[in-house]
Amino acid sequence: MASGPSTASVFYKAIEKVLKGWTAFQLAVSHGFGGAHTQEKAVWLVGAVEQWFTENDDIEPWELSDFFEDIMSTEFDTVIDDNSLLVVSKAICQFYALCKQGKEAEVLADVEKIPTASLQNCVVAQDEDEDDDDEEEEEEVPRLSQGGASRLQPEPMDHQSATEGATGCDNTTTENSDTKTEDQSSSQDAEMEEEWTTVTSKKKKRR
């Protein structure tokens, strides 16, 4: 997957800013839930979303939400159980619509108001994980909705390439393997206010 543009488009900047303000996503990135290439994946995601919109017409928020849900599952081993996926997707779709209308100055002004996710108040606690192979079971994780046969999907993550550069809810609980993170700060913007975000790692268990 190619890296982000050297001179980023307004829409690219908007996607990047929205993702940087998405607390659940930033927690997954900061804790390395995506493995050794977590940072590269976070940068790739911005360009993948921009490419998807430029190659397709009228992408709906629910389609983008399904895409994010799938990426969080497959690339960051994380399940998000609240509505922050849709909140973030609606914001990105709205910014794209404004860009298409030539209202880039308005977009730039709006994205500057989006605060970067604040993680310093998160409390990280170690979970007591029991190694019980006799009670292992596999959880189903929703897959990416195709949204129609003709709809092009973003290119898959190229784990060998290094790239550059990723609204959210501040009240966040994150679980990944042995880690649980709680962000008790309040949400900061419009419909993102008073949101509660839950991020849980995929746990595959065998009987």
What is the DSSP secondary-structure string of 87-149?
HHHHHHHHHHHHHHTT-HHHHHHHHTTSPPPP-TT-EEEE------GGG--BPP-PPPP--ST
For residues 14-18, give the mean pLDDT: 97
Question: What pLDDT, in 10s, does the model give residues 63-121?
Answer: 999 999 999 999 999 888 888 999 999 999 999 999 999 999 999 999 999 999 877 76
Residue 4 or 156, more confident: 156
Question: What pLDDT, in 10s, does the model give residues 122-163?
Answer: 543 334 454 444 444 444 433 333 333 334 555 555 554 433
Own/partner long-range contacts of 99-106 (Cβ < 8 Å, ≥24 apart)? 99/9, 99/10, 99/11, 99/14, 104/10
What value does the mean pLDDT of the chain take?
71
Quickly count: other Cβ atoms within 10 Å of residue 144's Cβ: 16
Sorted by sequence, the CB contacts under 8 Å of residue 141 that are 6+ apart come out as 73, 79, 202
- pLDDT surpassing 50 at residue 19: yes
Predicted pLDDT of residue 99: 95
Predicted pLDDT of residue 199: 60
Percent of the chain with pLDDT over 70: 54
For residues 16-41, give the mean pLDDT: 94
Predicted pLDDT of residue 147: 35
Predicted pLDDT of residue 53: 96
Q: Structure tokens of 89?
A: 């997707």
Residue 143 or 36, more confident: 36
Spatial contact of 17 and 111, defined as CB atoms under 8 Å apart: yes
The structure's pTM equals 0.65
Spatial contact of 91 and 167, defined as CB atoms under 8 Å apart: yes
